[in-house]
Amino acid sequence: MAVNGVDPNRYPIMIREVWADNLNEAFDNISDLIDEFPCISMDTEYPGTIYHSPVPFSKQSPAEKYNLLKSNVDELKLIQVGITLSDANGNLPELVIEGERFRVLWQFNFSDFDRNRDQYAEASIQLLVNSGIDLERNLKFGIRSIDFGELLMSSGLVCNDSVSWVTFQGANDIGYLLKILRGRNLPDSLDVFYDFVKMFFGGKLYDVKRLIRHFHNLHGGLDRVAGQLGLVRVAGRQHQAGSDSLLTCHLFYKMRNGYFVNGVPDAGVLHGLT
**pLDDT per residue as tens digits for the range 119-176:** 999 999 999 999 999 999 999 999 999 999 999 999 999 999 999 999 999 999 999 9
Helices (H) and strands (E) in the chain, counts: 10, 7
- Which tens digits make up the pLDDT trace of 112-125? 999 999 999 999 99
Work out the average pLDDT over 240-252: 99
Write down the pTM of the prediction.
0.95
**Closest C-alpha among 196, 81, 187 to residue 144:** 81
Q: What is the mean pLDDT of the chain?
A: 96
| Statement: residue 5 has pLDDT above 70 | no
| Statement: residue 9 has pLDDT above 90 | no
Work out the average pLDDT over 238-264: 97
**Closest C-alpha among 17, 15, 26, 13 to residue 151:** 26
pLDDT of residue 1: 43
| Statement: residue 243 has pLDDT above 80 | yes
- Which tens digits make up the pLDDT trace of 194-219? 999 999 999 999 999 999 999 989 99
Alpha helices in 107-189 (DSSP H): 122-130, 135-141, 145-153, 171-182
pLDDT of residue 208: 98
| Statement: residue 67 has pLDDT above 90 | yes
Q: Structural domain boundaries of the chain?
A: 13-259
pLDDT of residue 10: 85
| Statement: residue 4 has pLDDT above 80 | no
What is the fold of 13-259?
Nucleotidyltransferase; domain 5 (3.30.420)
pLDDT of residue 195: 99
List of residues 6+ apart from 130 with CB closer than 8 A: none
- Which tens digits make up the pLDDT trace of 94-103? 999 999 999 9
pLDDT band at 8 (very low <50, low <70, confident <90, very high): low
CA 12: distance to chain centroid?
A: 22
pLDDT of residue 2: 41
Instruction: Please report, as a single letter, which amino acid is at residue 86.
Output: S
Distance CA 91, CA 4 (A): 14
Distance CA 19, CA 254 (A): 31
